[in-house]
Amino acid sequence: MKTKRIVKLSILSLVGVILIGAAVQVVSDIKSDVHLQPIDEAAALYTPEVASYWVSQMGI
């Protein structure tokens, strides 16, 4: 049981790091780009709903 919990926590932390990196990338894109429409589409990809969808797809 402990091994499963450790695996779940490590996968969750990995997903968290990936999502944080993606959010940082979106923010840096917003700062460097003046076109609003593509930024809105890119920011829509990194909502909490999308993150929870991928976590549920991974079966965590």
Write down the pLDDT at residue 44: 63
Q: 0.85 exceeded by the pTM?
A: no
Contact 54, 15 (CB under 8 A): yes
Spell out the per-residue pLDDT of the chain, length 60, in tens: 688 888 888 888 888 888 888 888 877 776 665 555 555 666 666 677 777 777 788 775
* Dihedral (Cα; 21, 25, 31, 33), 10-degree rounding: -170
Q: How far apart are CA 39 and CA 27, in angstroms?
A: 9
The sign of the CA dihedral 47, 48, 50, 55 is: positive
Q: What are the residue ranges spanned by the domains of the chain? A: 2-57
